[in-house]
Amino acid sequence: MALSTENKLYVSLAVLAVLAGALFLQNKKEKEESASYTLSGQAAALPKLELTDDDIKKIDKITLSKPASGDAGAAVDVELTKSGEDWKISKPIDATANQANVKSLLDNLKSLKATELIDGTKTNYAKFGVSDDKALHAVFSKGNGVALDLYFGDSGGRGQMTRIGGKDGVYATKGYSSFLYSRDVKGWRDMAIMKFEDTDVTNVSIENANGAFAFTYDKGKTTKNEFKKGKDGAAEPIKNYDESKLVDLLRAYKALNADNFADKGKTEADVGLDKPVATIQFTLKDGAKRQVRFGGTSEGSSHWAKVTGSDEIWSISSWATEWATADEKKFQKSEDKKGGDSDHPNAQHFGGGMPPGMPGMPPGHP
């Protein structure tokens, strides 16, 4: 039976629809195959950098090294090792590490991700800053093996240029924070040098070129204060004594951190500690004493110092040092305070005192 003209048209349309569908599917497959060969399509084949929490717990040594350069500053050459649950610096010095800084570095390993292959060869390492003489080299070890070995170079719009130890090529990565990796030795060290509760203090004494101070302290109040001017003066109560000043002094010392430390081999004579410019001592309720001796200036207005129970020579900021080298006026009320007002010119805006955390002013700074 012959098909009518109308039926022939319907059959032709159906055939065209089938052919169009087949052509669409073929084109889609070709596009997918083509994409799989592009750099973005190779994401699944990129090396895995990020580590899991379990991987990170197994890391027991970290080495960080970077050559000195005009742009990036001094060379970095630090080795951190894990002892029990805590970290220490094992090179270039032997000291307790800043646990929070090490933790921040390790946490960063969970964020690292390779996003693109920039160059599959090793001929352009210098161009991207990942060559041995330019890159920051970070090695994270576990037991006798290596968990991650990376060279970090230049950073740009495509990400952080990164080279993987033992593997040719330069990759762009995301998640890297140079601040966490490029600290100097001081940045990896625990700089806490003295800690006590101010409520445990019973006595504070100061000796310096101006004379000698003696304070008796109980439950936030000064029960006795004396100042002996020079070597031969008589001990007398401080005139116009300001109760808040001793509170500020204790605030400066109860969690004392150094801002630097002396190079190995420096002696007390080298830094003026053989003839201290000041000594401050705190006596606690249990009879324990915490003493700090101050020598010459270290950098800026900071001073070299030694703390009870440590042979280390530290640099302590001017805020703490100024209490130890104070004269009588440091503990007296200002002229404004004698009249009942704060000694700060803007006190009227803050209800009679400096607001906590005012820019440029440590909390409690007089």
Task: Assign 3-class secondary structure to 295-357.
Answer: EEECCCCCEEEEECCCCCCEEECHHHHHHHCCCHHHHECCHHHHCCCCCCCCHHHCCCCCCCC
For residue 284 the two structure tokens come to 């606690």
Cα separation, 79 vs 93, whole angstroms: 9
Cα separation, 121 vs 222, whole angstroms: 72
Cα separation, 74 vs 160, whole angstroms: 21
CA distances from 50 to 18, 24, 80, 107, 175 (A): 47, 39, 20, 10, 9
Give one word for 187, left, alpha or beta, with left for phi > 0 and alpha for psi -120 to 50: alpha
327 exposure class (CB count in 10 Å sphere: 0-12, 13-18, 19+)? middle
pLDDT in tens, the chain (366 residues): 555 666 656 556 665 666 666 666 666 655 554 444 444 445 558 999 999 999 999 999 999 999 887 665 678 899 999 999 999 999 999 999 999 999 999 999 999 999 999 999 999 999 999 999 999 999 999 998 999 999 999 998 999 999 999 999 999 999 999 999 999 999 999 999 999 999 999 999 999 999 999 999 998 899 999 999 987 779 999 999 999 999 999 999 999 999 999 988 899 999 999 999 999 999 999 999 999 999 999 989 999 999 998 899 999 999 999 999 999 999 999 876 655 444 443 333 333 333 444 334 444 444
- Rounded to two decimals, the pTM is 0.73
Cα separation, 120 vs 115, whole angstroms: 14
Contact predicate 64/181, CB 8 Å: yes
Cα separation, 80 vs 88, whole angstroms: 6
Contact predicate 323/250, CB 8 Å: no
